[in-house]
Chains A and B, each alone.
Chain A
Amino acid sequence: MPEDNPLTKEAVELGRQLFYEPRLSANGKVSCSTCHIQRLAFTDGRTTSIGVSGKPLTFNSMSLANLMWGPQRFFWNGRAATLEAQVLVPLQHADEMAQDDLGRLVAQLAADTSYRKLFEAAYGKITSANIARALAAFERTLISSNSRYDQFLRGELTLDPQEELGRKLFMAHPDVKVSLRGANCIDCHSQFLTSGSSARYDGFSNNGLDDEAHLQPGLQAVTGNPAHRGLFKVPSLRNIALSAPYMHDGRFNTLEEVLDHYDSGIKNSSTLSPLIVEADNRGAAAARRISLHLTAAEKAAIIAFLHTLTDRDFVTEERFSDPFARK
């Protein structure tokens, strides 16, 4: 939590209004909620998002849940160091909200009595920095913590046998030597958060989507480190069953496709993690081809576990919903 943006009720209320405010965009039709829809866990269901220009963007809309935990760098390639810095980027991007003059936006909001009052209560002045602070404050309150998995972690329920098998596979790196089968998910998706880890750049990974020739810059664009080429942010898997399509470019439409990718579709490259190359439920010596060698039943079990991450309260919570919607 930044020291200059404490989480206050007033800031969050203002942030909520701004999040759903289409007047933030140049054509008055696109708000943050255009690409971050609550019932889809604040994603948009598209391969890549579409803003004011109508041109598909390069990246898939990221879910906005539990942003105070996990990697504290934002965007798929981690180019924003704070949430406050992040929110101003789509606001000004020519294809997203195209607000090329933040001064004009400030003046526009200042002409609105209701916003004048909201800003007065939250921050005093209407400025672009305070617009960013308010949006970030609202986004920090988007906490998902009542999925079946959360209830399981709190000891309130037991998962059914298929979900429990899926959980065990999710949480295990396979080790043939001790007959431990695993799907290796936890090596990137941490056990409680299901997001990447927060330390340094640990929450960024090359998950084998592209071969060497097609590897995108990813995190390397931010750090300049060649070892970071093709690394993208490991997202939280909270509400993953609601947030298709998947991956930074939305290339997979279903969780089945995602599981098939990790099981047998990994493409090798110089920055691919040895943990992915080495993970094999048949024993690494069996074949040179990278594969987890999961069974169909195991893949189905992991998908059943992923469904336990759906939090109905999160996608229906009134405090997160559109304040302008007719009741």
Chain B
Amino acid sequence: MKPMRKVVLLMLVLLAALTALGVAGWQLYRAAQPLELTLYFHPFVGPEPLVLNECRYANPGGEGRFKVRDFQFFLSNIRLVSATGAYVESDSYHLVRFDGEEPAFAIVLHDVPCRSYERIEFGIGVDAVANRSVTSRGDLDPNSRMAWTWEVGYKFVLFEGMLLCGNASDPLVYHVGFDENYRIISRELQREQLASSPARLDFRVDILRLFQGATTVDMRALPSVKFDRADAALLGRNFADMITLMRPERD
């Protein structure tokens, strides 16, 4: 082999090696880049996707059928927990609302470090510190319909609708707040759940669980919950279970 040919061959080998290294490096680099993770919340009433303003759902604890006019709740303090550390969203106060315009409510988490997360945690409601403040953080707004007054704090979960029973119709007003009903929810994650691109997690929000759980509510007997602490606690225990992670293969 002539010396010139040797040099060319050597250069080609080097180039191939560098390219391979570059691709592998790029893949490693990409894998280490922070993620944008979107959480989707899909509203259901029992097995059915939520349809607003239609009297189609059975009163879980008694006679009649009900319709949902408004349903919204605060979801706070989102954390992703892994063995090597946690991602904590700052000013993490989201008003999750279902206005019938989109099939799901989306929360986008930015700059999520790429780790193997074991679980996601968040609160339903507003933590005691933020609940005593008039500072606007995230979606917290003391002039919004979720605010009672600055002396009382925020409604955590708001359900407004109507119960029809025979010819009679009763307004349904469930406004649940108070510090003791702030619920921290933890849902386990499977390794592959964050591997999709773009990264997403899908949650089922079952509005019926507000009335069906530790206690089953007859809407006729209890058409409104506002400031009575015992009534609020009853729905507070129920709503702890209303959000579950959807597994793509099953849902």
Contact = CB atoms under 8 A, between A and B. Distances in A.
Interface of A: 69-70, 171-173, 175, 177-178, 180, 186-187, 190-193, 195, 197-200, 202, 227, 273-275, 277-278, 284
Nearest to B144: A197
B226 A273 contact: no
B143 A198 contact: yes
Contacts of B148: 173, 186
Contacts of A273: 160
A200 to B, nearest CB: 6
Interface string B113-154: 000000000000000000000100000011111011110000
A284 B173 CA distance: 12
Given A190-B147, A199-B95, A275-B173, A175 B227 contact: yes
Given A274-B160, A274-B172, A274-B173, A177 B227 contact: yes
A191 B173 contact: no
Contacts of B212: none
A293 to B, nearest CB: 16
A304 B20 CA distance: 80
B82 interface: no
B226 to A, nearest CB: 5
B171 A175 contact: no
Contact of A191 (B69, B149, B160, B223): B149
Contacts, number: 76
B58 to A, nearest CB: 19
Nearest to B230: A177
Query: Chain B: interface residue count, which band?
Result: 20 to 34
Given A175-B224, A190-B143, A197-B141, 10 more contacts: A69-B143, A177-B231, A192-B134, A192-B142, A197-B143, A198-B144, A274-B162, A278-B223, A278-B224, A284-B170
A197 B145 contact: yes
A180 B148 CA distance: 13
B144 A186 contact: no
B149 A171 contact: yes
B99 interface: yes
16 contacts: A178-B226, A178-B227, A186-B148, A186-B149, A191-B142, A197-B141, A197-B144, A200-B97, A202-B144, A227-B52, A227-B53, A273-B160, A274-B162, A274-B172, A275-B173, A277-B171
B228 interface: yes
Most buried by A among B99, B172, B227: B227
Interface string B159-194: 011100000001111010000000000000000000
A219 to B, nearest CB: 13
A199 B227 contact: no
B53 A274 contact: no
A190 B223 contact: no
Given A191-B149, A284-B223, A284-B224, A274 B143 contact: no
Closest 10 pairs (CB-CB, A-B): A274-B171, A190-B143, A278-B171, A277-B171, A175-B227, A177-B228, A175-B226, A178-B227, A171-B149, A278-B173
A308 to B, nearest CB: 16
B143 A193 contact: yes
Contacts of A175: 224, 226-228
A57 to B, nearest CB: 30
A317 B148 CA distance: 33
A63 B228 CA distance: 38
Contacts of B144: 190, 197-199, 202
Most buried by A among B99, B142, B148, B149: B149
Contacts of B175: 173
A192 B143 contact: yes
Contacts of A227: 52-53, 69
Interface string B80-95: 0000000000000001
A70 B227 CA distance: 26
Given A173-B226, A175-B227, A178-B228, A274 B142 contact: no
A191 B150 contact: yes
Contacts of A198: 141, 143-144
A279 to B, nearest CB: 9
Interface in B67-106: 69, 95, 97, 99
A191 B152 CA distance: 12
B57 to A, nearest CB: 15
Contacts of B162: 274
B174 to A, nearest CB: 10
Contacts of A277: 171
A274 B226 contact: no
Contacts of B142: 190-192
B106 to A, nearest CB: 15
